[in-house]
Homo-oligomer: A and B are copies of this chain.
Amino acid sequence: MDRIDRKLLNLLQRDASRTNAALADLVGLSPSTCLRRVRRLFASGVIAKVVAILDPAKVGKGLKAIVSVELKSHGEQEMRHFLDLAKAEPAVAQAYAVTGETDVVLILRLADMDEFDAFCERVFRDRTNVARFYTMLVIRTAKDETALAL
């Protein structure tokens, strides 16, 4: 993992739809060498996957919410159970067990408030283990990067 690999990763994290030749040019390598490096980064798992990122607004998922959840019972079993429940929800983009006053933070991507309402009904009110939850609706997205800083 030298300087060129890092350069490749930075480029691919922002745009992986480039041709190998274009990529090679940007890092100053021949296409074959460049390709071999990229494939090595893939094979070693440094590059986990290549995916398409959609525009949320254009597919009717313009509403984002961050919800922190406090569970009634904090044991491992209950925690796992709740996380599994959350994981199964399509609206849940990210689910984390965290330190601090609350136990879990969820990041949701929804169509509208009706969908949020239905989500809460399903995940928080039902026969679950939730003591309280605190909702923060996203007003403005200043940054939303999939890229890691190297």
**A interface list, Cβ under 8 A from B:** 9, 12-17, 44-56, 58-59, 61, 64, 66, 68, 83-84, 86-87, 90-100, 102, 105, 109, 134-150
Contact = CB atoms under 8 A, between A and B. Distances in A.
B59 A45 contact: no
A12 B51 contact: yes
A121 to B, nearest CB: 18
> How many copies, total?
2
A87 B47 contact: no
Contact of A59 (B9, B56, B138, B139): B9
Given A58-B45, A91-B149, A51 B13 contact: yes
Contacts of A94: 141, 143-145
A67 to B, nearest CB: 10
Given A83-B140, A87-B142, A96-B141, 16 more contacts: A9-B52, A9-B54, A12-B52, A13-B54, A16-B51, A47-B53, A47-B55, A48-B53, A49-B53, A91-B149, A94-B144, A95-B142, A99-B135, A100-B135, A100-B137, A102-B136
A113 B39 CA distance: 32
